[in-house]
A and B are shown apart, each in its own frame.
Chain A
Amino acid sequence: MEGFLHQLLLGLASGSIYGGVALALVMIFKATHHVNFAQGELAMFTTYISWSLIQAGAPYWVAFALTLGGAFLLGSLIQVAIVRRVQHAPVLTVVIVFIGLLIILNSLAGWLFGHTTIDFPSPFPADAWYGSAYFSPHEVGMTVVTLATLALVYAFFRYTRLGLAMRAAALNPASSRLVGIRVDRMLALGWGFASLLGAVAGMMAAPIVFLEPNMMVGILVYAFAAALLGGIENPWGAPIGGFIVGVMENLAGAYVVGTQIKLAVALFIIVAVLVFKPSGLFGRRSVVRV
């Protein structure tokens, strides 16, 4: 029973990471109807940036904050320079561009920072008071930070003027233009925010999965599963989907399939959702009048 509880809590902890990346995927999907396959590599790359800053002597939280800014800029830049140019292209073209981005970021990281696995520091000391037998301090801290980030993002979109404009641009670009919203700029900001979310997830996951160019590949698959399970158009569904996926992953890994093919659980979830309930648990089926 203790083992079960432990797996459950571990699942919630890793679920917060999946939820963070899933939210980034949902944000971009809502705004553009495209799935950003490069989301994970973007998160990995920005985590390397934070590592470089720490290596250069910056205190952890300073590096953290600077990385968030850098991630925002990088995400916006990618939207403006690359994604914007293919926004009206056929879906397959867009998919190929995203996969290209994925490969470029992965190779660039390996080239600039090397392929050796790196121990990434955790800002939560191993002997902190909030640790326990079930939860290491890092797992507690990472869940709190990720959830706090999600809460801030929610508050931004719900209560600020710019957040409202961004929501409008995603819902109805044509009407948004008619009230003077620069829709292109909103899309760039959306990418910036998504990239920022990915950076938080990357920096929180790195102490556990270790920093190396492929660190986010598995996490991205779980995040896809989480986003689909929660409903790819529903921002609330992403963190909830994340928790469900995290728990399922751990329980299946501990009791059913073993840790070696845990990732298959995520792929199973993806296929099952798409076959039986494509709109996810909380999504709505949209009807398009032709």
Chain B
Amino acid sequence: MSAILELRRVDASYGPVAVLQSIDLTVEKGEVVALLGANGAGKTTTLRAVSNMMVRTGGEIRLADQRIDGLATERIARLGVAHVPEGRGTFEALTVEENLQLGSYVRRDRDVGRDLARVYGYFSVLAERRRQQAGTLSGGEQQMLAIARALMLRPRLLLLDEPSFGLAPLVVQKIFGILGAINRDATRAPACCWSSRTPGSPSSWPGTPLSSRPGGWS
């Protein structure tokens, strides 16, 4: 099968509060999809369910052919799922470069240096600020740092939770332009699943838009 991510009849709840009920979602290898919907539609919960973060899940979640539901978050990351959470999750007290080094922490191959150069190429502002403390970067720069860090994992699947949140439209355009370029450039570009609150996405934003319906995202 060519799907990199498959959710089948997945339930997700925060304690007693059920947010997702028996939903399905499929993302093909290399595909970009966008989960669009208003607050409460379950976008963040869906992404968190994949990484097994903060939610209790039922049902099956598969990465390629492997079941990942119930695995520890760090194990799922090691399998190649790079998740940029709501709020970006940067290590604010560490430098830009240290943040990127942490992105590739689990990798043992020798291409890490090359990937770091490539990431600096895509996000030149990060190269300028590589020794700066991450917490001093602007919102847009921190978002770029978070995405760059995720890419340093050389993931098979990239999950971006509300990457456009709180950013000026020009910045958002720039970020999505880079995401589109990454998707076109690399031969083994990661599949990408991103979420946004904006119900109607501009046509320049990459990916297949999906909305929440009973039974899943389609």
Distance A171 CA – B90 CA, assembled complex (angstroms): 10
Does B153 lie within 8 Å of A180, measured CB to CB?
yes
A168 to B77, CA, bound (A): 16
| B73 in contact with A164 (CB, 8 Å) | no
Q: Contact between A180 and B74 (Cβ–Cβ < 8 Å)?
A: yes
What distance in Å separates the Cβ of A287 from its nearest Cβ neighbour in chain B?
A: 13
A177 and B85 contact, CB distance less than 8 A: no
B18 CB–A CB distance under 8 Å: no
Q: A164 and B102: CB pair below 8 A?
A: yes
Contacting pair A167 B103 (CB below 8 A): no
Question: Across the interface, do B74 and A172 meet the contact criterion of CB distance under 8 Å?
Answer: no
Contact A178 B91 (CB under 8 A): no
Contact (Cβ within 8 A) A174 B85: yes
Residues of A near B153 (CB, < 8 A) are 179-180
The stretch from B35-43, B93-101, B113-121 touching chain A is B93-101
Q: Using an 8 Å CB-CB cutoff, how does the interface string of A165-198 with B read, 1 for contact, 0 for none?
A: 1011001101111111111000000000000000
Kindly list chain B residues whose C-beta atoms are within 8 Å of the C-beta of A181: 74, 102, 105-106
Q: Within B68-113, which residues are at the interface with A (CB < 8 Å)?
A: 72-74, 77-78, 82-83, 85, 89-94, 98, 101-103, 105-106
| Pair A178/B105 contact, Cβ less than 8 Å | no
Find out whether the CB atom of A179 lies under 8 angstroms from the CB atom of B93: no
Task: Say whether, besides A168-B94, A172-B91, A177 and B102 are in contact (CB < 8 Å).
Answer: no
A179 to B73, alpha carbons, bound, how many Å?
Answer: 9
B85-A178 in contact (CB<8A): yes
Q: Any chain A CB within 8 A of the CB of B53?
A: yes
- Of B74, B82, B85, B101, most buried by chain A (CB within 10 Å of CB) is B74
Number of interface residues of B (CB under 8 A): 24
B142 contacts the other chain (CB 8 A): no
Contact B102 A165, beta carbon cutoff 8 Å: yes
Which of the residues B77, B93, B98, B149 comes within 8 Å of A177, measured between beta carbons?
B77
Q: Once the chains bind, are B78 and A180 in contact (CB under 8 Å)?
A: yes
Residue of B nearest to A182 (CB): B74
When distances are taken between beta carbons in the complex, the residues of chain B under 8 Å from A177 are 53, 72-74, 77
Is B51 part of the contact surface with A, judged by Cβ < 8 Å? yes
* Interface 1/0 per residue, B41-80 and A, CB below 8 Å: 0000000000101000000000000000000111001100
Cα(A177)–Cα(B105), bound, Å: 11
CB contacts (< 8 Å) of B92 on chain A: these are: 171
List residues of A (136-187) whose CB comes within 8 Å of B's CBs.
161, 164-165, 167-168, 171-172, 174-183
Q: How far is the CB of B64 from chain A (nearest CB, A)?
A: 17
**Residues of the A chain whose Cβ atoms lie less than 8 Å from the Cβ of B74:** 176-178, 180-183
Report B-chain residues with C-beta under 8 Å of the C-beta of A164.
94, 98, 101-102, 105
